[in-house]
Amino acid sequence: MRESRIGVLSGGGDCAGINPAIKWMVKTALDERLQSERSIRYNVLGIKDGWKGLIEVEPEELSVQDYIIPLSQEIVRTWDRYGGTMLGTSRANPYDPKNDQSKRVLANIEKLRLDALVVIGGDDTLGVAHRLEEEGVKVVGIPKTIDKDLPETDYTLGFETAVNVITEEIDRLRTTAGSHKRIFIVETMGRHTGWLALEGGESSGAFMILIPEHDFSLDKINELVLEGRRGGARYEIVVVAEGTKPLGDKEFVRQEGVDSFGHKFLGGVGDFLAREIQEATKLETRSINLSHLQRGGAPCAYDRRMGRYFGIAAMDLVAMGYFGNMVCVRNGKISACPIANIIGRPQFIDVDTQYDVERYNGRRTILRTLEKKHAQR
């Protein structure tokens, strides 16, 4: 029986669902019945701290223990109940134009005798995997991002748990908002897509939801707030994604510069809205940025199941030799797509069908598309 060494790493932001994926990828790789069927005995090496681990590891020295951990079924047995990533992560970019470390990563992959690499991440992390694939590395991807902004897949690990956190925190805000007749602006993550804000806002019944896919008018926001008060509302919850911007203006940044992947550090739109709304309406308005709370906590049931399915499917791709592909889910079925198809193609909210531009909220009609189809027949 031949042997094969598989590396697994998680890169980018942490989130719930990564550990279940690693657990079930390892359990599938090391399953004795499957190994007998495949005539391959797999060894799995966990790579710590994402791409940083493959940049800084010295395979010939004892420091290899700082970045590489052999994974067994016993080690990963309980991982699926924990959030974050037990392997650690980082936003290191081996192809950073200011400090290109890609040759070192390639050399370390060879020194570690890795036959394939399972990479868990979003657009940035999988973008690195794609470039390594072009240089001859056998890679398989697992989609992970609370932003849920990858194309080709209906789900990315971490999203549902993050939506649950948003919903729970807004439920808590309601009691203080109602007690003091306040407006609360809740800023979520999401970068340039509004999935977290939209689905978190819909789940929590937010009064307004503001998304990057549709620039907002301050005048219209103030009108809607006052209209709500005239209708008897005691308080309002407004959910806004960090990349949302006013009409004719640019997005807000919390600090100058960009990260190693060239992304701006977005944030501050919530504070801006709170000041502007209070000044215009004279209603007490506060803002809260949920920030990294959205990434934390144990994975919800859905992320545990999807992590399991994605981890198993990733090892299926490895065993079949279908490298250069990412596990995905479409219409409820687990499948795969080329990693090349997802790079640099963020999946945005379709404002025409998924957003109400008059109410600045989730859609209020769902089956109208059926009516239009019947009318066209």
Integer CA distances (angstroms), 249 to 246, 257, 356, in order: 5, 19, 21
Q: How far apart are the first and last CA of the chain?
A: 60
Q: Which residue has the tokens 């203006």?
A: 249
Residue 134, both tokens: 């072009």
Integer CA distances (angstroms), 310 to 142, 145, 278, in order: 7, 14, 46
What lies within 8 Å, CB to CB, of 325 at 6+ separation is 140, 141, 317, 336, 337, 338, 339
Which residue in the list 147, 271, 303, 356 is annotated as catalytic? 147
Residue 261, both tokens: 């992947």
- 217-223-228 Cα angle (round to 5): 130
**Reduced to 3 states, what is the DSSP secondary structure of residue 258?**
strand
Q: Which of 328, 329, 330, 327 is nearest to 314 (CA)?
A: 327
d(CA 93, CA 101): 8
Helices (H), the chain: 18-30, 32-38, 51-56, 64-67, 73-76, 102-111, 123-134, 159-180, 195-204, 218-230, 269-281, 301-320, 351-354, 368-376
Please say if 96 is a catalytic residue: no
Q: Which residues are catalytic?
A: 147
